[in-house]
Amino acid sequence: MDIGMLWFDNDKNSELNTKVERAAAYYQRKYGQSPNICFVHPSMIPVSEKQRKAAVIELRTSQSLLPNHFWLGIYSQ
């Protein structure tokens, strides 16, 4: 993914999946497409969580993102 949307969500009462879904809904409204990948800081994914998906969006980690920031976009293989 070369182009994406950066989203910030520091709501302490929401789980990671909820935050990603909120960001994805906004992305859909703004760009007319649903994102299929989201990068987050590694600290945002619990160690015990083996599944790295939020709905149909693949979650990947990146040290270059700050916690509570989400980089969403469309990844085509």
Q: Where are the domains of the chain?
A: 4-73
Close Cβ partners of 76 (under 8 Å, ≥ 6 residues apart) = none
Structure pTM? 0.86
- Mean pLDDT for all residues in the chain: 89
Report the pLDDT value the prediction gives residue 16, as an integer from 0 to 100.
92
> Collapsing DSSP states into helix, strand and coil, what is residue 5?
strand
> Collapsing DSSP states into helix, strand and coil, what is residue 16?
helix
Report the pLDDT value the prediction gives residue 45, as an integer from 0 to 100.
87
Taken in order 49, 50, 56, 60, the sign of the CA dihedral is: positive
Report the pLDDT value the prediction gives residue 30, as an integer from 0 to 100.
96
Q: What percent of the chain has pLDDT over 90?
A: 77
Residue 49 pLDDT level (bands cut at 50, 70, 90): low
